[in-house]
Amino acid sequence: MSEEIIVLNPATGQEIDRVKKESKADIDKKIEKAHETFKKFKKKNPHDRSALLTEWSKLIGEHKEEIAELITKENGKPLQESRGEVDYARSYVDYYAEEAKRVYGRTIPPHEDDVRMVVTKQPIGVVAAITPWNFPIAMMARKAAPAVAAGCTFLVKPASATPLSAMKFLDLALEAGFDEGVVQYVTASGKDAGEAFTESDKVMKITFTGSTAVGKSLMEGAASTVKNITMELGGHAPLVVHKDADIDMAVEQAIASKFRNSGQTCVCANRFYVHEDIADAFSKKFADASKKLKMGNGLDEDVAIGPMINEDGYDKVMRHINDAEEKGGKILTGGKGSKDEGYFIEPTVITGATDEMVIMNEETFGPVAPIQTFSTLDEAIEKANDTEYGLAAYFFTESYRDGIKLQEGLDFGVLGWNNGKPSAAQIPFGGLKESGMGREGGPEGIEPYLETKITSMRV
Ligand code: SIN
């Protein structure tokens, strides 16, 4: 009997479905198929590839509600957020349907009279992706759409916690008319998929969104065949509120940043630095707004905070809360969790955070906001940068001078100035330092799927 992956609803602990756990041999067959299909697909006219993406987008729109429900059931995020994720995923498909037609080369003025120099771009080949459970379809869309727009064939291993929405999403690509070998999924263990992808000399590119630890091991594996890689890894985002900030706006945007997907995104604000002059006012308003967020099963329309994905996620967040409390943090709201049925943790705001607390040093991936005060902007920038991560950072100030100082001083790839929701298909999303390499989204997001050739011709 073949092994199975059991998919659970994190809001109830109940089984939703089972999918076959594929072996390394199964994955190798799919890589072979992607390799064979690439020989034909790379020659498909970019306008035809664009039309296929447009048809896929249309089908995603038609199945929005069904996919959103699947996301909420297997991931736990509130239905409104799941609908938002379907729109977000679709926006990548739409964006790269256009970019497929804009893969330009160039000519270079030669240094010899009888020479002509031409730069051309071509698809890199078979792309293998590993995608996370926190955005089961959006993180896949921002890899799949530019890959096929460029003319690559695409193989993805969705997270074992959330394969159902990902499978549905890719089935729609086939329904839209992509050949079977152009987009495929494998439902396997991360270890088997990682090994099969990195060891194969037919896979030309690995693209991964997930933890820094797993990213490092994939990078090591990819080194043996010198594969092209894109890595979107962990974050530990600081959120700085300066003394002249519009406090109401900062609270509203900080709520959006902190509690999206119950704090389970790589770009969620993880540590707050608030100027001492406004710290009490900000903390009180932020705690009051956090308290109003209803926690529960994401299928209920008015729920804003769903469960943690699993027991490990729950235990980690509770460890961060308990450690902060033991080290003198004051809980303004929340602080309690329950794993009797599902893995729920109240939206939590902690003041008096210090540098020694685990939560100020590690990614939490949960609905907890620790607040520390600062007196000078230099101090805030230094603390914000004191991490091996460099994905997202947020800052709130009405002053253009201080804003530019923060914008230039913060070592992060995605910055939100008076904005807690910077993500969009048209921006180049990605991190510095151990948060990864490469960018996804925007015109930059198709480049990693293209090879550049220079042809120098004597005429
Ligand atoms: C992530 O959590 O990795 C990405 C979130 C986003 O695209 O905004």
Cα 176 to Cα 162: distance, rounded to the nearest angstrom:
23
pLDDT of residue 2: 67
Strand bridging mode 269-275 / 368-374: parallel
Ligand 1 centre distance from Cα of residue 208 (Å): 12
CB atoms near residue 92 (< 10 Å): 28
Q: Are residues 329 and 350 in contact, defined by beta-carbon separation less than 8 angstroms? A: yes
Q: Which residues of the chain have pLDDT under 70?
A: 1-2
The DSSP secondary-structure symbol of 132 reads -
Atom of ligand 1 nearest to the CA of 423: 8
**Residue in 264, 267, 391, 429 to alter for ligand 1 test, most ligand atoms within 8 A of Cβ:** 267
Ligand 1, residues at Cβ distance < 6 Å: 134-135, 209, 232, 265-267, 423, 429
Ligand 1 centre distance from Cα of residue 177 (Å): 28
pLDDT of residue 214: 97
Enzyme catalytic residues? 232, 266
> Ligand 1 atom 7: the closest Cα is on which residue?
423
Residue 278 φ/ψ, nearest 5 degrees = -120, 5
Q: How far is CA 371 from the centre of its chain?
A: 25
326-342 per-position pLDDT tens digit = 999 999 999 999 999 99
Ligand 1 centre distance from Cα of residue 235 (Å): 10
Ligand 1 centre distance from Cα of residue 132 (Å): 10
The Cα-based distances of 207 to 210, 215, 233 in angstroms read 10, 9, 11
Q: Are residues 229 and 218 in contact, defined by beta-carbon separation less than 8 angstroms? A: yes
Single-letter amino acid, residue 380: A
Atom of ligand 1 nearest to the CA of 266: 2
Provide the whole-model pTM: 0.97
**Residue in 95, 130, 134, 439 to alter for ligand 1 test, most ligand atoms within 8 A of Cβ:** 134
Helix (H, G, I), strand (E, B) or coil at 162: coil
Strand bridging mode 106-108 / 115-123: antiparallel
> Ligand 1 atom 3: the closest Cα is on which residue?
266
